Structure 1
Amino acid sequence: MEYNESEFLIETEVPYDEVITSRTDLKGNITYANEIFCEISGYSLEELLGKPHNIVRHPDMPKSVYKELWDTIKSGNQWIGVVKNLRKDKGHYWVKAIVSGVYKDGELVEYKSLRTPIEYDEKLEHQKLYDKMRKENGEKTRRVIYE
């Protein structure tokens, strides 16, 4: 898939009074998405349900972040981290994500994710960190100039 570089510059801000919520089955397919998730991601609920949650994975995100996320939640722990997500229109949005298992009668049945907005300084810090991580991991990177 080809993208116009300028599309990646369009950021959608997550409102500070909202929490983006979703649930997935154990394979990571979306089983629930709240209205603000649909609005911020640009997808309809019908477009999200049954799709892998990585439908919103931004190419700036290092693969190692998602490996850590999956290793953490599969071991029964909660994962907390900053994520840059890709919108349907190829714009992006930044969130702090809290991902954990949902248990019924002691058995893991699904995963849930709660996502909240972050401040500009944290976005910039993580963009630089993720660019560095992608370069160190030999992943495709863009040429980025920070002033």
Structure 2
Amino acid sequence: MRATRTSPTGVERTLGDDEMMVTKTDPRGVITYANDAFLHMSALDEADAVGQPHNVIRHPDMPRAIFKLLWDTLKDRQEVFAYVVNLASDGAHYWVLAHVTPSYDSSGRLVGYHSSRRRPDPAAVGAISSTYADLCAEEQRHSSSPAALEASWQRFQQMLGERGQTYDEFIWSLTNGDPR
């Protein structure tokens, strides 16, 4: 387990074309399962991953607004796709296209989340990186976390409005090679 936050080193790792990272969490986002690809990319041992909150791999260049969108979507019992940059325990970073779904038991009670992640197209990463840099810059203009999140969220909504797209349309335009 990381005792302190790891600093990014600038070293990038990439998933293989046929690799898929998989994790499962409980309803609070605590990792209950991690496959070998996740452990390799995150530079964590299974004992260091399982039992930790999923944000153990949060990269400082990931805007809060994207996590708000993710959690709001999951709270609405919907799946979500998102481009995410993560921070490995050794300081390397890696980009993924994440697909996160809520998991329910037979009575419809939320029991956790399942996330599968694959290698994103480099052009999509280039496009989303500038969006995320803009959102993070907006966050840094504010001294409190709630104000930073609200400002970033409003900026993100403005960006989507300027594109004339919903979030899902934006993500799929990047995924399908239209990074306008």
Q: TM-score, normalization: structure 2? A: 0.72
Contact 1:62 1:139 in 2 (8 A): no
Distance 1:91 1:18, change over 3 A: same
Structure 1 stretches of 5 or more lacking a match?
Answer: 141-147
Map residues 1-147 of structure 1 onto 2, 5 A cutoff: 1=5, 3=7, 7=9, 9-105=10-106, 106-138=108-140
- The residue number in structure 2 matching 1:144 is none
Deviations along 1:23-64, whole A, 9 cap, x unmatched?
000010000000110011100111001000000110000011
Distance between the aligned counterparts of 2:88 and 2:141, measured in 1?
21
Contact 1:30 1:53 in 2 (8 A): yes
Distance between the aligned counterparts of 2:112 and 2:79, measured in 1?
13
- Structure with max Cα Rg: 2
Distance 1:117 1:139, change over 3 A: farther
Runs of 4+ in 1 over 4 A off after TM superposition: none
Q: TM-score, normalization: structure 1? A: 0.88
Between Structure 1 and Structure 2, which shows a larger proportion of strand residues? 1
Cα root mean square deviation, aligned: 1.5
Structure 2 stretches of 5 or more lacking a match?
Answer: 143-180
Distance 1:139 1:90, change over 3 A: farther
Distance 1:103 1:84, change over 3 A: same
Contact 1:62 1:133 in 2 (8 A): yes
Pairwise CA distance, 1:136: 2.2
Higher relative contact order (CA 8 A, sep 6+): 1
